[in-house]
Chain A
Amino acid sequence: MHFLRKRSLSRRTMLRGLVGGGLVAVALPPLEAMLDANGEALANGEPLPKRFISFFSGNGFILDEFEPTQAGADWQLSPLLEPLAPVKEHINLCTGLANRCEDLITHHEGITAFTAHSFIARGDLPGFASDAGGPSIDQVIADALARQATLPVRSIQIGVSKFDSPADNGTNADTHSFRGEPGNLTPLPPEANPLAVWETLFGEFVPKPDDRQLRMSILDVVREDARRLGSQLGTKDNQRLDAHLQALAELEQKIAAMPPTCEIPGMPTLANDEVNGQERLVEVNQVMADLVAMAFVCDITRVASYRLVPLAGEAVLSEAEPASSDTHHVVSHNAEYSQSARDEFRSNIRFVMARLNDLIATLSATNDVEGNSLLDSSIVYATSDCAVGWNHTVRRHPVILAGSGGGYLKQPGIHYRAIENDPDDPNGQNDNGMSLPTTGNVSDVLLAVLQNYDPEATEIGSGDPRSETPLTDILA
């Protein structure tokens, strides 16, 4: 037990009084004692916490084997979606919606399905380079939640496979999590080492000498240094310093936060440092899912971005069945003509879906302090960097949603199909729009999801991908 825990009954008072009284109050874990009589809100009137995960895994799908034939409430999982069978009733699947990114650099446009902004090509950099055009859905939601409650960790960024594309770069290729405003974004890179994730989420709360006041004083001095420096810098570097200052403020909040009332999980033993082809992705994914679930239970954070395979990622999915021997990216391309590669790609996609299932099932099986499944209070928003691996089309960009987000999404979920795919050309390309029937805007899903966390939101994104028409068909 943490040495501070015994003081937890008067935590809020304690917090206010901590280190000289200059601190903001920090949101506390919703103890049962703090629930209202109906268990539907906290005693102080705050709504029960809602959680969110954005899940990314690169290299796309095979649309005609991925999209279920039946739309509506009576849909069945397609062969490629079969690994999600254990959590199917929690899934809302959206197909046939267009990703309206205004530019194309193969794979990079897929990130628009997480931002509702077109990317910004970086012609000044070598390689295939772009920066994200705006903040990502997880960070827009984290901003909204931060206005409601201050948590020890604003959001966490998870990585599973470490093997990214050597050809793609720019911030847009490095992560699917971006914080800030268009033109002033802080990319938040995924962390693939479970020990580091544990440290970020729980490390602050293990017993140690209480030097918090000293650490706070250091942050004050450091902040003053940053302010002095800023007066001599230009706009761009001041934005960087602002991000630095913001991070210092959040670190301070975390230092000031009282330890959560949950059981702090032990530090994982898995460092995820295996070479390509020997990565233990099944195990690492499960450890990461457990860490996120525990962080949700402890109310240390309510938002995660989660990346299984990087954009155009070159992970060898050697644990797929049958095992893949080449990189997921190479396999996704060779699958266009080669039957053996098509088989390999199928097993890779099923492997990815099985890992998504593990994440969703972990949330489903874990109860929060109110005794409800975490999946009831969460939405997992999952998609890839393209719809079809080999031609990178994003004209029918599928999105998998899991969980109800606190009764917000339909449960059991439906298959929303914006428009039927063309059976004669189900995996057609971007440049031949008419061959691949499409309609709507994948950002409509983003806006619908956002409104669960920020009911005031009336739009999301910019340019062609912008949406002010949430997809209501999936709402409960």
Chain B
Amino acid sequence: MGASGEADTDTDEGSGDGGTGEEPEPQVVPAPAGLRRLLGAQYVSSVRYLLGDEAAAAAVPPDDQALGGLDSIGAAQLPFPPTAIEQFERSAMDVASAAVANPEVLATTVPCVVDGPRDATCYERLATDFGRLAFRRSLSPEEVDAYVGIAIDGMNWEEGSFEIGIQYALAAFLQSPNFLYIVELGQEREDGLRELTASELATRMSFFLIGRTPDAEVLDLAETGELETDEDVRVLAERLVGRPAARETFKQLYAEVLRLRDLEFKGKDAELFGNFDEELASAMRDEILLVLENLVFDEDGNFLDILDTERSFVNPRLAEFYGIEAPDASGWAPATLPAGQGRTGILTRAGFLSAFSHPALNSPTRRGLFVQESILCNEFAPPPPGVSTTLPEPTQDTTLRERLEVHMEDAACSSCHLQMDPLGFAFEAYDPVGAYRTKDNGFPVDTSGTVPGVGSFANASELAPLLKQHPQVPGCVIKTIYRNSIGTVETDDQFEGLIALEDAFESSNYSMKQLLVELTTSPLFRLVDAPK
């Protein structure tokens, strides 16, 4: 169960004699060295940084492939299917063509693209200087030659020109495994542990915190020995966390965790919920993400407040949905949700409630399972073989809750469902699109419940503080961030590192910004195990 539970640890056990030698390091077996494919969003953001907006508009990466519910884990483990490689080729051609037509951004790295000389010496600058940004490291002379060769072939082609040479060399860089994978090999330290090289660390930090390939300046830091000590790392991490892109990257992470990404495609029963269209669904998603952004980046508040915050943001469409006055402007504004609806914490907001329900029915099981798995990091096995997972047909009209309570009578079901369904019952005051209700199927809803290890509550507002104070929540936040940062699922081997992060998280009064920074200095982040 990793870092959840007890919070004290003896950091003196760390091996303080190797590496950067400041704080004693917690002893961990880090995730293995190796390859992680760029996620689609990382690919597009990297293209935007390297080649500009027009090039980014032409960038169409293949779909991400999740594993264990997270794209980042799939990125660390799965091979590319052949269709992805073809898609990368097409995308590279289109991006390169757009970049040559709009060379301003490229010219900031390789001025000769615009200023000349229009000859092979410029191709060499392109291979050397653009190549370094694309590969996040300096190229070997061999590698430079290979890419210059492509550019010269392009120039000599029957329809070729100087620009065509640039274009095909760019297309080549964008197809190289050195670009498409984040390569994290590490190098052995004196104490035998493997540590990311400074360039690899800069790259890992950049993708983690701002969702794209590192800046030239960040690579400079790494290459000039200014990214060595924990303090160096901390300073850079704080700078990156301060950028606007850090907000977007963090919101993408939580949109994935809260399954809000595809909310507008989820679809609800048109007869029952005709108001649930793509515009409303995306407003529901944005509300929760704005609450998170505001809490983490504007206020640097206690992250656990997400579970009991009263804060909201609405646009006119969402204001209408919640039944409050629309903001003056057409955009988003802070709002107070109706007092009687008990919308305490992000789990009571329409976006979460819509994401975790069926098209026509609530799913207390799914809502409860999310709380157990993703807020508390408890794990559940699939239903045992042969068990009917179907609810009996009610003998008379009743609420969904009463039908679900059958799960609790059957011993084969109750061991798990007693821990899931009652958590979900707390949200029975909200329908499948998250609208407030007092009746289900014509009968009064019952939002009370008792859950082993959580406590008793009358409704979602009472559940909120129980969750917020639950000792597993901070550790679960850390696991969520750690899993996503490098695409791995923690094991006992990472326990000490996670515990150290939990201590730091607690001492910072649960500042997410500080947690993000702290993770980058952790051996969990800076070290790698043998290549996988």
Contacts and interface: CB of A to CB of B under 8 A. Distances in A.
Is chain B found bound to chain A in the same assembly? yes
Interface of A: 104-106, 122, 124-129, 154, 157, 162-163, 166-167, 169-171, 174, 186-189, 191, 196, 199-200, 203, 209, 211, 213-215, 217-219, 221-222, 224-226, 229, 232-237, 239-244, 246-248, 250-251, 254, 275-278, 314, 316, 325-327, 330, 333-339, 390-392, 429-432
B338 interface: no
User: Of B77, B85, B178, B491, which is in contact with the most chain A CB atoms at under 10 Å from its CB?
Assistant: B85
A316 B77 CA distance: 32
Interface stretch (B42-50, B218-226, B354-362, B466-474): B354-362
Contacts of A191: 83
Contact of A236 (B66, B68, B358, B532): B532
Interface string B354-375: 0000111100001001000100
B176 interface: yes
A222 B176 contact: yes
3 closest A-B pairs by beta carbon, nearest first, are A431-B386, A276-B267, A125-B68
A436 to B, nearest CB: 11
Contacts of B267: 163, 275-278, 316
Contact of A214 (B80, B157, B264): B157
B34 A214 contact: no
B270 interface: yes
13 contacts: A122-B67, A122-B68, A125-B69, A127-B373, A186-B80, A236-B532, A237-B34, A240-B78, A242-B79, A243-B81, A278-B267, A278-B270, A392-B389
A229 B389 CA distance: 48
B172 A169 contact: no
A335 B67 CA distance: 31
A249 to B, nearest CB: 9
Contacts of A126: 68-69, 373, 379, 489
B175 A432 contact: no
Given A187-B65, A390-B390, 14 more contacts: A125-B69, A166-B366, A186-B80, A226-B177, A229-B178, A232-B185, A233-B531, A244-B80, A247-B86, A254-B86, A337-B391, A391-B390, A392-B389, A429-B388
Contacts of A104: 385-386
A190 B78 CA distance: 15
A327 B359 CA distance: 7
B360 A247 contact: no
A209 B267 CA distance: 43
A335 B149 CA distance: 65
Given A125-B67, A224-B146, A233 B35 contact: yes
B386 to A, nearest CB: 3
B154 interface: yes
B360 A234 contact: no
Contacts of B35: 229, 233, 237, 240-241
B168 interface: yes
B82 A247 contact: yes
Contacts of B153: 213-214, 217
A247 B84 contact: yes
A242 B385 CA distance: 37
Contacts of A326: 269, 358-361
Interface in B176-217: 176-178, 181, 183, 185
A171 B358 contact: no
Contacts of B154: 214
Given A126-B373, A209-B159, A232-B531, A221 B278 contact: no
B531 A186 contact: no
Given A217-B149, A234-B532, A275-B264, A169 B66 contact: yes
B187 to A, nearest CB: 11
B393 interface: yes
B136 interface: no
Contacts of A236: 34, 77, 532
B14 interface: no
Contacts of B93: 215
Contacts of B178: 225, 229
Contact of A125 (B73, B183, B532): B73
Contacts of A213: 153, 157
Interface in B276-330: 278
A120 to B, nearest CB: 13
